[in-house]
Chain A
Amino acid sequence: MNLNKLIENFARLAVGRLSNSSLQASSRNFHQSSNSLKNFNSRLPKNIKIGKFRFETHVDFKNYTLTPLKTAKTGGRGLDGRIWVHRIGGGDKLLYRMIDNKRIGPTEGEPLVEHVNVIMKDPCRSAHIAVVAGGDRKRYIIASEKMKEGDLIKTSGVLTAMPVRASDGDAYPIGSLPIGTLIHNVEQLPGDGGTIALAAGTSALYIRRVGNKCIVRMPSKREIILSERCMVVVGRVSNTEHHKTKKMKTAGESRWRGIRPKSGWWQRKDGYCGRKIRPIKPAYEAKPVVQPPEVFRWTI
């Protein structure tokens, strides 16, 4: 199958009814965040990202809803009908909830205040999620460690000269926080939505500041250089005892999660999951996506 057609078809399936011009953009920026995107180890080029879940065709992602969406099982198959990811099949039905990782507040004046209505579990992720409401809007966010029902959380985009005194669950630009704070839901580029430290119990550490740039140690111990305007949330992610829970009560529990049994002997290396231990890579800085060059379809 032609590569372009393949991507186009997949985007049509994954994203639902959309116009042709916005297909590729919407498949990349699924629900305005790259959180739910995953690059499958496939024969496709690496810059093409594919949604983790497949939805019904009538679902429109431009309209934010609190209603949980039904997802379909892929069985690890791609659009061409071949296996792209092995050992996937069956399992419980999952309802997908639209999580808003864009904690963007007003750049002037008083911060946006939101009320935590409910804290609940989410089958699609390890962390707990919270329903917050402020003004005329309701949304799901990832709950922080000390967040409780009935709390008021702040979101401010004001970059202050003096560091602010932030409490758990508040979102600020990283430049206005004191050095040494534990943070999560970290943006790589300003206004792009949080992508770092979203799993249960994880947190990043704000280490130091060099000029306009802030350096953060990610949960993987690697360092990242951020703009001072990148929004972060103070505190750790909720469900901190997730790693202590017993993973496998029965042999069939992995099948409930949609994982099929593996065969053969897997030689375990010193690192995790058969990987070697390698030195930590140097700090990197995310760069905005460059627009691809123009394609001339009509030629003589």
Chain B
Amino acid sequence: MRLTRTLLAGLRDCTVRNWKKVWKYQGKYFDQPYTIPEALASKGIPVIKVNDIKPVYTKWVPPVSDDPRFAEPIPPEKQEDWKPEPVYVHHDNVRLFEGIKQVCLIAKAQPFEGFPPSVDKLIGAMDVPDKDMILQRYIMQSQVWNTDEDNLPKPPPHPDKPRWKWVKQVGITHVKSTQILVRNLLRLCQIQTAQFPSFTGRKYILDVPIYSHIMYTGKAIIMKEPLDILLTSDQDLPPFADENAVDASVLYKIPDMWPIFPTVDFLKTNNYEILSNTGFSSDMKLTCPHTIIQFPRKTHWEVKHYQAAQIMSCLMYTAALARKRFGEHVKILPKPICVQHVSVEQGKFLFAFFQLNTLDFESDSGIKNFIWTADRSDLYSETHPQPWLKDPLLEKSKIVDYDPVAFDRFLAVYLNGFPEMSSILQKQTEKATASS
């Protein structure tokens, strides 16, 4: 709209009605159609549209080229690992919605409930002196006897008081406390097994970086993430299921998830590399994987989501290891690779066991991999604080329901793979028969 004399004449009458009236009739300016004069056209002078003329601005360049103050992020297209075809990504933030059902389709696996029989008989096989006292001290050390003052997240809303204004709380974060607890438990396990000769072949490593992939129906699923703790040994775990069970898995049919693809929850990226990195070079010793321990950063998931994440970590690690051992294009493994997984979050233990038999994810037929998952076992539980009741006992959260069964299972997982355990178990059975 042009500011003309007639328009400004409306300023005498400063009402909205007058403004609207003037705007209605004189607020539009229709430009004449675009024509080239004949004189110019005959001379052949080029005519350029006004809007085609673009101003050329010179970009300011910092005097020092690598000055960090003016550094700009590199766009993903210009990074080194950019590729035109995207792939799926799995990391600790990805929640597989259907849980075990979904991960069985991705891993081409047959699920079983509970512990594998070889690990199940190790539960309670070894007595720990003063177990309850030591475990309760470990719990107190990780939760209460600590001087950390980090800012804690707000507690989840209570159904009675959804709008309660929480006082800002400081203390130890849940990841840190689980780290302390798990390292203490590992030390307790090491003390029990220090007498075994094969104990020298065991160690554990923190933050092992893995960069692995699997090919699922022609597309890659990659995982680039550090594992929190990796227990290793000098020899592989004995397989959880024998060859007959592996051959029998040909008959098993994995239930479908139609109309959803199992890859629906993964993210996509163009910045990736197809690698099989297990975190160790070939000249290192004690690199056979025994148990992966992870501390989930998400606290609101259901059990099935944590279990699916456990299996994905196991699958990715064993796939990378299989490709390293048996060649890049291996499909059916000459010898199965087994690994155990423990997911710990504030005393809540989840155990999973994985046996990799095949890397052929293209077809449904053929032998399957094996998965064992057990129900959650809590070493302790924590009460929800209720400061509105004005009871000093309920004002802060309390640690209740101590249950040492979780540690017994953890110890059984640790003891799996020790050749000395077979003789101990035999002695125990002999004693039991003699007493009866």
Contact = CB atoms under 8 A, between A and B. Distances in A.
B34 to A, nearest CB: 10
Nearest to B266: A136
Contact of A134 (B50, B53, B260, B263): B260
B260 A115 contact: yes
B259 A152 contact: yes
B265 A134 contact: no
In this complex, the member of A134, A136, A137 whose beta carbon has the largest number of chain B beta carbons within 10 angstroms is: A136
A267 B53 CA distance: 59
Nearest to A92: B163
A9 to B, nearest CB: 21
B243 to A, nearest CB: 37
A92 B97 CA distance: 29
B147 to A, nearest CB: 33
Interface stretch (A160-168, A170-178, A216-224, A291-299): A291-299
Interface string A125-155: 0000000011111100000000000001000
A145 B391 CA distance: 44
A130 to B, nearest CB: 13
Contacts of B259: 113-115, 134-135, 152
Contacts of B97: 117, 133
Contact of B50 (A115, A136, A298): A298
Given A113-B259, A115-B259, A293 B264 contact: no
Contact of A136 (B31, B51, B163, B264): B264
Interface string B42-78: 0000000011010000000000000000000000000
A138 B264 contact: yes
B145 interface: no
Nearest to A298: B50
B261 interface: yes
Interface in B8-33: 30-31
Contacts, number: 36
B77 to A, nearest CB: 15
Contacts of A137: 264
Contacts of B260: 115, 133-135
B260 to A, nearest CB: 5
Contacts of B263: 136
A137 B263 CA distance: 9
A113 B259 CA distance: 6
A114 B260 CA distance: 7
Nearest to B34: A294
Q: How large is the interface on A (under 10, 10 to 19, 20 to 34, 35 or more residues)?
A: 10 to 19
Nearest to A300: B50
B4 to A, nearest CB: 16
Contact of B261 (A92, A114, A136, A294): A136
A297 B261 CA distance: 51
Contacts of A92: 163
Interface in A85-138: 92, 113-115, 117, 133-138
A296 B51 contact: yes
B264 A299 contact: no
Nearest to A66: B265
B261 A135 contact: yes
A238 B431 CA distance: 66
A58 to B, nearest CB: 12
A197 B264 CA distance: 30
Contact of A133 (B30, B53, B163, B264): B264
Interface in A246-266: 256
B300 to A, nearest CB: 13
A268 to B, nearest CB: 27
In this complex, the member of A92, A133, A135, A297 whose beta carbon has the largest number of chain B beta carbons within 10 angstroms is: A133
B58 to A, nearest CB: 18
B334 to A, nearest CB: 34
Nearest to B29: A293
Nearest to B97: A117
A256 B264 contact: no
B50 A296 contact: yes
Contacts of B51: 294, 296-298
B1 to A, nearest CB: 10
Nearest to B257: A115
Interface string A169-198: 000000000000000000000000000000
Contacts of B265: 138
B95 to A, nearest CB: 10
Contacts of A115: 259-260
A6 B163 CA distance: 37
A21 to B, nearest CB: 12
Nearest to A135: B261
A45 to B, nearest CB: 10
A113 B53 CA distance: 50
B163 A256 contact: yes
A255 to B, nearest CB: 11
Nearest to B263: A136
Contacts of A136: 261, 263-264
Contacts of B30: 293
A136 B50 CA distance: 47
B426 to A, nearest CB: 50
Nearest to B95: A66
Contacts of B31: 293-294, 296
Interface string A263-300: 00000000000000000000000000000011011110
A114 to B, nearest CB: 7
Interface of A: 92, 113-115, 117, 133-138, 152, 256, 293-294, 296-299
6 pairs of A and B residues whose beta carbons are closest in the complex: A113-B259, A133-B260, A136-B261, A134-B259, A296-B50, A298-B50
Given A135-B259, A293-B30, 13 more contacts: A92-B163, A114-B259, A133-B260, A133-B264, A134-B260, A135-B261, A152-B259, A256-B163, A293-B31, A294-B31, A294-B51, A296-B50, A297-B50
Interface of B: 30-31, 50-51, 53, 97, 163, 259-261, 263-265
19 contacts: A92-B163, A133-B264, A135-B259, A135-B260, A136-B261, A136-B263, A136-B264, A138-B264, A138-B265, A293-B30, A294-B51, A296-B31, A296-B50, A296-B51, A297-B51, A298-B50, A298-B51, A298-B53, A299-B50
